[in-house]
Amino acid sequence: MSRIASVLLPMPLPEAFDYAEPEGMALEPGDQVAVPLGPRLIRGVVVELRDALGGNRPLKPVAERLDDPRLPPGTVAFVQWAARYAVDAPGQPLAIALRGARAPKPRPVRVVELTGAPPARSTPARTKVLAAAATPMPPADLARAAGVSSGVVKGLIDEGVLATREVVAEARFDAPDLSLTGATLNESQAAAADALKAAAVAGFGVTLLDGVTGSGKTEVYLEAAAAALAADPEAQVLILLPEIALTQAVIARVAARFGAQPGEWHSDVAPPARRRVWEAVAAGACRIVVGARSALFLPFRRLKLIVVDEEHDGSFKQEEGFIYHARDLAVVRGRIEDAAVVLASATPSLESLRNAETGRYAWLRLSARHGTAQLPDITLIDLRQTPPEAGRWLSPPLVAAMAETWARGEQTLLFLNRRGYAPLVLCKACGERLCAPDTDSWLVEHRYTGRLVCHLTGFSMPKPAACPHCGAKDSLVSIGPGVERVEEEARALFPDARIAVFSSDTVFDAREARRMVETMAAGEIDILVATQAAAKGHNFPNLTLVGVVDADLGLRGGDLRAAERTYQLLAQATGRAGRRDRPGRALLQTYAPEHAVMQALKAQDRDAFVAAEMGERELAGLPPFGRLAAVVASGPDIAQLDAFVQGMAQAAPNTPGVEVYGPADAPLGLIRGRRRKRFLVRADRGVDLSAYMAAWRARVRPPGQIRVAIDIDPYSFL
């Protein structure tokens, strides 16, 4: 009997499409195939095969089974689960899962090698080439390695002593060397490692590895990885990190611990290299992957352990396209694959802490730094009492501390989570605030490039000489500080110090990030001015002072997690100080020293802060005690959008335990020329919120120009 193949395509379609399986193709679920869609052939994945019962309309046949690795059943199940959870088309997560499969193949390179024929004559230059040619390499590299001109190599090729050959660089994923051992663990680390090693070989279960910065969480989870890899010769381990800069540090530690380079996966990896990792993961040859959130969608064959490091970090939330939280989906993938999941953080999310408190997650705590390293002293600088001079941002106590630190030959980190020179440009003649033309956001001044930039959309323009509103000349003033401006001030204060800025404007890619971190770790920078890119996870042994330029910054947004996020970010930033044997200190500049977040940071009393914050959330039924979903409807025409969201409000299903708020103007009411309206849905924990949202979504038919985006468990409220 002939069969029907349901094929999922990596595009926003509501469901898989049916095709006829041609005679003899012998498809299996997970196969990558080419199928006709309109006039084109599209790559898709077979998700189901069933017998054709006849009588149906004839189906188009599958055009071809592609000679690419099959998606393992766990990956297909995960993609489908993720789509249902996110109330989105399954083709969206599938597109992420196929990103590596669709990347171009690595191109072959021409190398030269010895043929065995002797040279007609011997010269010192030729002898050097013959010695270096033992390893095949491109001709230019060979000439360089031998220290001769390229003519010498060419001569030997012409003579037949060397021959050229095209090779595709092999994916080199060495097996981890399990005879290597890690650091000698201290007592509490050893206890945590034992528990985690047991968990790592026990199948699905979630452990919260909760330890202060510098307590050795990485050492401990690498032991769990070793245990998982040793227990099963095919086991695979995934380590997820929130920042590319952090992946670099962890890759180096994994490589040292296991004597093998792990697979690296993030947006900065070149497409051919990505394809190599993807195929090696599918083949089971790559056993350790270190990557950013989308690594969760790789086609693992035998995933046994997932580590989500810095699990509290907001960067795990993907906000555009397919909207998901990699920490939450890591737990799902773990369940599907029967893999252990470790969530590591010094400042866990309230969601994870709640799961630990209720016993759903195991909870391991490391309360002290390793060895003699101490947590830094934290002092609040009340900017109302000791303000900086006019037009400056560093207060006298912070400047004094920087001077002492520099005099001792130690390093300072100035933390300000704001890129550019100034967050606002204002006309002092007419009061106009310069905004992006099609978006509700201020233009940020960047002095390195002389441009005004919209951080939301990337729009930029040269800084005008006159106010675009009133035409006044030389009337534009820069308001407030960004990292570039703090750098300028630090340079004026310490002209002889070596000063650098670490932000996504100065550090563009993984290699730059690694270089900057190494330069800092080597003590070659005296003052590092940094956004959050540098404030997380790194170990800088000679860093003894952290100055937080604007501790109140994150509190101003006022959303659900403002206090939690500020606490986490500042605890991480201040945790950079004093990692080795030198005591560190952190100074926080604030206008609100009495705020609960500042008091908790000062007292280093995370538990009290968490308890207070949990209490407030519980009263309001907010996460982790209730659940939220957001809807953003957007469109170019405000009247049409208004009518649509009014209709959408009417269509909201009535379900006990669910409240719908809105529609309301989104705080960012205009992005790229599209008006935006929001709903917020709050539900009790027991409600299947995804099903509720899917039912609601099915009741509305947005006109062509209107887009409806659903965000389950939202982190952004803009």
Token pair, residue 155, equals 């001569």
Nearer to ligand ADP, 213 or 439 (CB): 213
Residue partners of 673: CB distance under 8 A and separation at least 6 = 438, 439, 636
Could you give the CA distance from residue 117 to residue 106 in angstroms, rounded to a whole number? 31
Token pair, residue 615, equals 């209490």
Helices (DSSP H) in 48-186: which residue ranges? Answer: 73-86, 91-97, 99-102, 124-132, 139-146, 150-159
Nearer to ligand ADP, 94 or 330 (CB): 330
Nearer to ligand ADP, 16 or 254 (CB): 254
Q: Which amino acid is at 358?
A: T
Could you give the CA distance from residue 616 to residue 609 in angstroms, rounded to a whole number? 11
In whole angstroms, how close is the CB of 378 to ligand ADP at the nearest point? 17
Sheet with 236-240, side-by-side order of all strands: 263-265, 288-291, 236-240, 303-309, 340-345, 205-211, 362-366
In whole angstroms, how close is the CB of 251 to ligand ADP at the nearest point? 14
Q: Find the radius of gyration of the CA atoms of the chain.
A: 29
In whole angstroms, how close is the CB of 201 to ligand ADP at the nearest point? 21
Residue partners of 358: CB distance under 8 A and separation at least 6 = none
Nearer to ligand ADP, 211 or 578 (CB): 211
Nearer to ligand ADP, 220 or 399 (CB): 220
In whole angstroms, how close is the CB of 577 to ligand ADP at the nearest point? 13
Which residue do the tokens 């959008």 mark? 641
| Contact yes or no for 546/587 (Cβ under 8 A) | yes
CA distances from 392 to 225, 389, 480, 547 (A): 48, 5, 9, 15
Nearer to ligand ADP, 102 or 253 (CB): 253
Phi, psi for residue 489 in degrees, rounded to 5: -65, -40
In whole angstroms, how close is the CB of 203 to ligand ADP at the nearest point? 25
Nearer to ligand ADP, 314 or 541 (CB): 541
Residue ranges in contact with ligand ADP by CB under 6 A: 183-186, 189, 211, 213-219, 370, 539
Could you give the CA distance from residue 294 to residue 93 in angstroms, rounded to a whole number? 10
In whole angstroms, how close is the CB of 214 to ligand ADP at the nearest point? 4
In whole angstroms, how close is the CB of 226 to ligand ADP at the nearest point? 14
In whole angstroms, how close is the CB of 221 to ligand ADP at the nearest point? 8
Phi, psi for residue 280 in degrees, rounded to 5: -70, -35
Q: Got the DSSP string for 114-136?
A: E-SPPPSS--HHHHHHHHHTTS-
Q: Kindly report the CA angle at 146 between 142 and 147, in degrees rounded to 5?
A: 115
Nearer to ligand ADP, 183 or 493 (CB): 183
Task: Collect contacts of 476-479 with beta carbons under 8 A, ≥24 apart.
Answer: 476/425, 476/426, 476/427, 476/428, 476/434, 477/425, 477/426, 477/427, 477/428, 478/421, 478/422, 478/424, 478/425, 478/445, 479/422, 479/423, 479/424, 479/425, 479/426
Nearer to ligand ADP, 218 or 236 (CB): 218
159-193 exposure pattern, b = at least 16 Cβ within 10 A, e = fewer? eebbeeeeeeeebebeebeeeeebeebeebbeebb
In whole angstroms, how close is the CB of 339 to ligand ADP at the nearest point? 21
Nearer to ligand ADP, 77 or 183 (CB): 183
In whole angstroms, how close is the CB of 249 to ligand ADP at the nearest point? 8
Could you give the CA distance from residue 471 to residue 249 in angstroms, rounded to a whole number? 50
In whole angstroms, how close is the CB of 560 to ligand ADP at the nearest point? 27
Nearer to ligand ADP, 122 or 367 (CB): 367
Nearer to ligand ADP, 47 or 307 (CB): 307
Could you give the CA distance from residue 98 to residue 322 in angstroms, rounded to a whole number? 14
Which residue do the tokens 């996110």 mark? 86
Could you give the CA distance from residue 348 to residue 200 in angstroms, rounded to a whole number? 20
First-last CA distance in the chain: 55
Could you give the CA distance from residue 485 to residue 417 in angstroms, rounded to a whole number? 12
Token pair, residue 202, equals 């026990």
Nearer to ligand ADP, 220 or 718 (CB): 220
What's 258's DSSP letter? Answer: H
Nearer to ligand ADP, 49 or 183 (CB): 183
In whole angstroms, how close is the CB of 185 to ligand ADP at the nearest point? 5
Q: Which amino acid is at 420?
A: G
Nearer to ligand ADP, 75 or 215 (CB): 215
Under DSSP, is residue 184 helix (H, G, I), strand (E, B) or coil?
A: coil
Beta bridge partners of 528: 413, 500
In whole angstroms, how close is the CB of 240 to ligand ADP at the nearest point? 14
In whole angstroms, how close is the CB of 411 to ligand ADP at the nearest point? 16
Q: Which amino acid is at 454?
A: C
Nearer to ligand ADP, 186 or 460 (CB): 186
Q: What is the β-pairing status of strands 288-291 and 17-20?
A: unpaired
The H-or-E segment that residue 224 falls in is helix 217-231
Nearer to ligand ADP, 311 or 505 (CB): 311
Could you give the CA distance from residue 177 to residue 106 in angstroms, rounded to a whole number? 27
